[in-house]
Amino acid sequence: MTGSTVTTGGAGAPAPAKDRSPDGNGKGPGFMAGPAGRLLGLVVAFALLCVVGAVTAPDRFVDIDNVLTILRLAAVVGVVSIGMTFVIIGGGIDLSVGALVALSSVWATTLATQQMAEDFHWIVMVFTAIAVGAGAGLVNGIVIAYGRLVAFIATLAMLVSARGLAEIIANRRTQIVQDQGFLDFFGGDVLGVPSLVVIWALVSVAGWVLLNRTTFGRHTFAVGGNAEAARLAGIRVQWHTLKLYVLSGVTCGIAAVMLMARTTTGVSTHGTLMELQAIAAVVIGGTLLVGGRGTIVGTVLGVLILITLGNVFVLNNLSSSAQAVVQGLIIVLAVLLQTRLAEGRGGFGWLTGSRSGRGESSSGGPVAGGTPAGAVSGGTSTPGAPGGDRPGTGSTP
Amino acid sequence: MVSKSLGVGVMTGAAGTGGNSSSGAPLLEMRGIVKTFPGVRALDGVDLDVRAGEVHCLLGQNGAGKSTLIKVLAGAHQPDGGRIEWRGEPVSLSNPQAAMKHGIATIYQELDLVSGLTVADNIFLGRERSRFGLARPAPANDAAGKLLARLGHPEIRPTAEAGSLPAAAQQMVSIARALSQDAKLIVMDEPSAVLDNEEVQHLFEVIRDITRDGVAVVYISHRLEEIREVGDRITVLKDGRTVATGLPVRDTTTRQVIELMTGRDIEFVFPDRRPVADAEPLLSVRDLGLRGTFRDVSFDVRPGEVVGLAGLVGSGRSEILETVYGARRATSGTVTVAGRRLRHGSVAAAVSAGVGLAPEERKSQALLLGDAVYRNISIASLARFVRGGFLSGGPEKEAAREQVQALDVRPADVTREVRTLSGGNQQKVVLARWLLRDCRVLLLDEPTRGVDVGARSEIYALVRELADRGVAVVVVSSEIPEVLGLADRVLVISDGSVVAQEPADALDEHAVLDLVMEGTVDPHRRADRKHATAQQHEGDVA
């Protein structure tokens, strides 16, 4: 994903406006802009949503079975979202996750695989699903990291062809999971908690450790935050990018197993639009789409918010169409808030029409667009200023 | 080095004498312009006045403030102080649109055409002619064709795609755009940098042509001989200040201009050199080449030695550094570190051999701006903080804290986001990264770019201290005094080749300037200079 050249800059032009940092003497961005503040905001949003649910459908919402339903639904998307979080923090995107879930589920439930599972152990199906996911992720990774294709296009192509392949393998039929051991294991519960939810929790914890307590995680932040700086610090950016997509593929494989257990089927329509749900959850969770910043806890909360919202709508007998509209609004709101907060502009200033931060106030206030988020909000670079554009620093080539 | 009286004398000499083609009140008058960025005072009281119909040359070394000044003029930066008068009226150029409305157009070095649009579309971008909401390409093409013909370039088709044109033609399109906006003042930022000789001559004709119509041109170039050819008056900037304004070109010698550009009010304190022990070279570069950029570069750096690369922008000096580091793949030659030959084009190989690079563009090439200081420092040495497969944050922060204290990074808070630090402290963070990795060879590209004047000596002392600890250091800088003051030995790079390799104290700033301008300064004079330098050197020794 790195550019092939290093620019040397022209004639000592000072860094363009959008490159400058906010005032060095002031305190950093406000509390709400910090990771803790953002997570707190999510918790509050989630709590509000629960209050709305409890008020509008008091009997049905506050019910242990309903809670378990929400969690079970959230688990599958939740696992995929963990992989997606890594890819997005690393400066990429994976649109193929839904299709990979379908492909993995179909491949793991073919007659041949099920026969092997019967002869040996149902774990064969699990391994098959994960291997298929990882393999497809590897293809994504190779094409993106070494073929230098834009991640959006590469994974879009994978989305289309993986689902096509799933249809070919399943011959557009629904494949029933025969192995009772498999269904018992994944359909059961641990101390009253459904296995699926336990798996989601385990994957999330593992993801958190991997992101925050390993070299791999640190390199992910570096590659997504500034690929060129990461390369010049000796990180093998392409190799790392490849690993990120494999990781995403693995989570798709795990999700496929979970979906097979929940539905007792493998079918090529599994995971339809799951990529949108996962990306939405990650973004709601405060991970920057341009990379370099994000949290696992945020993603988990993002998934919970998204799924609980759906649940509240269903309990109130509202149509799924209305639900879709509201989901869209929430995504836009989340990104808007996120961008503003990341720019350290105190959140709601833009609502009250204070636009002073947009240009460069001579008082040396925080300069708009100093953050990677500036790229998301767009239009923060001053027209007429020479493009400070440096090959190889963008999140995508 | 520079006599103060010279500058003053020249300035008073300039006052009152008219340029050759202009008269009357100035078109533009800037007084005491101040612009500060976090940690840097880019402009510190700049004066400039430009008359209608003149070619006013803006000169200064890198970092003198030229680019900032023209961005102020273009409305892209707002000054923190000072006054701008346009045709006798005070104005505020609060954004690029305002500047354009007044008739100030800027042609940047990086041409800002939309490459997918046609020439005519580009010229009238933002002011498209339409009827009932539909674009009317025919009149636009017509008008564009007329403009280009007036500029003497009828061969540029208005319907051609801008991106498909050569650089010179694109520049003409930019000029046509400025003229179509009825610009009274056109700022050209190093327009000749992308042109060959013949194209430059063509450009000059166009400039003469448009100034004859009363349009003023502010012309920025590093090439003094161009200024002599096309310019009327000169303003020289240095360290964010105007050191001379309104010098008539014909009464000013090249020598005077160079001295105005290079003479310093602030003498930097460079640390003392120690004799370098006669050891095996730590870094050894042999016949290194990168096709189309530089060739046959060979040099050795012993432990404790600082080698400087001096040269103009575009001479290949930064590219040499990046190729040694593996950030560019060499097409010939070898790089050896402590007897181990490095694989070409592999940064990871260089880093694991103990080489570190502090790149030219700190913010875009070295720092994770939104990350904490300690994470920026530890990123190249994470492996040593891994315990049983997991990173342990405690030792990592502790190690970073030690580096921050050793290098005196202020504020000494390792959890602070690196973006909030000043340029000098950011540079220290980059150095800390490599110190934490115990690197043996340190490559520094423009180590004091964007660093406050006061903080520079600290960086210099630091570099010397590292060398004294046995690190081999290579420094690239466009500030010649910096290279001369810091390095033990200097390689002068011109046009992709090493034209001289001498001990730093055998060279002075003028000698280096003459060497790097090789081919533009007449050879006879250059020989003279060399001779003079040698004599001077002998004198020093005696």
Residue B441: pLDDT over 80: yes
Q: Is there a domain that residue A163 lies in?
A: yes
Q: How do residues B211-252 score in pLDDT, each as one tens digit?
A: 998 899 999 887 777 888 889 999 988 878 888 888 888 888
Does A236 map to a domain? yes
Taking the C-alpha atoms of residue B168 and residue B153, their distance in angstroms, rounded to an integer, is 11
Q: Which residues make beta-bridge pairs with B428? A: none
Whether B38 has its CB under 8 Å from any CB of chain A: the answer is yes
How far apart are the C-alpha atoms of B447 and B428, rounded to whole Å?
Answer: 10
Poorest-confidence range of A266-275, A368-377, B322-331?
Answer: A368-377
At residue A1, the pLDDT reads: 39
User: Is A233 a domain residue?
Assistant: yes
Q: Which of A225, A232, A384 sits opposite B96 (nearest CB)?
A: A384
User: What is the average per-residue pLDDT within B276-296?
Assistant: 90
Q: Which domain holds residue A247?
A: 40-340
By mean pLDDT, which of A194-208, A300-314, A376-390 is the weakest?
A: A376-390
Condensed to tens digits (0 to 9), the pLDDT of residues A234-248 reads 999 999 999 999 999
10 Å CB burial of residue B304 (0-12, 13-18, 19+) is: buried
Check pLDDT > 80 for residue B424: yes
Q: Which whole number is the average pLDDT over A254-275? A: 94
A389: in domain: no
Q: What is the mean pLDDT of residues B322-344?
A: 93
Do A8 and B366 make contact, defined as CB atoms within 8 angstroms? no
- State the first-to-last Cα distance of chain B, in angstroms, to the nearest integer: 20
Pick from A7, A8, A220 the residue to mutate for testing the B interface (most B CBs within 10 Å): A8
Q: How many CB atoms lie within 10 A of CB B280?
A: 10
- In a mutational test of the B interface, the residue from A2, A4, A5, A6 whose CB has the highest number of chain B CBs within 10 Å is A6
Range scoring the smallest mean pLDDT among A109-113, B89-93, B105-109:
B105-109
Q: How far apart are CA B198 and CA B234, in angstroms?
A: 24
Banded model confidence at residue B60, pLDDT cuts 50, 70, 90: confident
Buried b (16+ CB within 10 A) or exposed e, A284-315: bbbbbbbbbbbbbbbbbbbbbbbbbbbbbbbb
Query: Residue B307 pLDDT > 60, yes or no?
Result: yes
Answer whether the bond into residue B248 is a cis peptide, omega within 30°.
no
Distant-in-sequence, close-in-space partners of A237: CB < 8 Å, separation ≥ 6: A1, A2, A145, A223, A227, A230, A231
Residue A197: CATH number of its domain: 1.10.3470
pLDDT at A97 (0 to 100): 97
List, in sequence order, every residue forming a beta bridge with B55; answer none if it has no partner: B217
In a domain, A297, yes or no: yes
How far is C-alpha A325 from the geometric centre of its chain's CA atoms? 20
| Buried b or exposed e, range A188-225, using 16+ CB within 10 angstroms | eeeeeebbbbbbbbebbeebbebbbbbbbbbbbbbbbb
Share of chain A above pLDDT 70, in %: 76
Average pLDDT, chain A: 79
Beta-carbon pairs below 8 A across chains A and B: 190
> Which residue did the predictor score with more confidence, B534 or B494?
B494
Asked whether the predicted pLDDT for residue B197 surpasses 80, the reply is: no
The nearest CA of chain B is from the CA of A88 a distance in Å of 16
Task: Using CA atoms of B369, A391, B186, B171 in order, give the dihedral in degrees to the nearest 10.
Answer: 180
- Asked if pLDDT for residue B535 goes beyond 50, the answer is no
What average pLDDT does this structure show over B366-391? 90
What is the CA B31 to chain-centroid distance, rounded?
A: 24
Q: How many domains does chain A have?
A: 1
Residue A18 pLDDT greater than 50, yes or no: no
The stretch B46-73 carries a mean pLDDT of 86
Distances (CA, A) of B274 to A135, B280, B307: 58, 17, 13
Q: Note whether A15 contacts B350, CB cutoff 8 Å.
A: no
pLDDT digits (tens, 9 = 90+) for B461-503: 899 999 999 999 999 987 888 899 899 999 998 888 898 899 9
Q: Do B351 and A384 touch (CB under 8 A)?
A: no
| Residue A3 tokens, joined | 């550019």
Q: Is residue A71 domain-resident?
A: yes
Distance from the Cα of residue A172 to its chain's centroid = 29
Question: SS3 of A296, please?
Answer: helix
Is residue A345 in some structural domain? no
Using pLDDT thresholds of 50, 70 and 90, give the confidence band for residue B22.
Answer: very low
Select the residue of B40, B109, B449 nearest A10 (Cβ to Cβ). Answer: B109
In angstroms, the first-to-last Cα distance of chain A is 6
In-domain check, residue A112: yes
pLDDT tens, position by position, A29-66:
444 455 677 788 888 889 998 999 999 888 888 888 89
In chain A, what is the greatest distance between 2 CA atoms, to the nearest angstrom? 75
Residue partners of A386: CB distance under 8 A and separation at least 6: A13, A16, B108, B109, B110, B112
pLDDT at B4 over 80: no
List the single residue in A212, A233, A235 with the smallest CB-CB distance to B433: A233
Domains of chain B, first to last: 28-262 (3.40.50.300), 283-522 (3.40.50.300)
Residue B349, number of CB atoms within 10 A of its CB: 19
CA–CA distance, A370 with A20 (Å, rounded to integer): 6
**A383 vs B371, more confident:** B371
Q: Are B313 and A24 in contact (CB < 8 Å)?
A: no
Return d(Cα A378, Cα A373) in angstroms, integer: 8
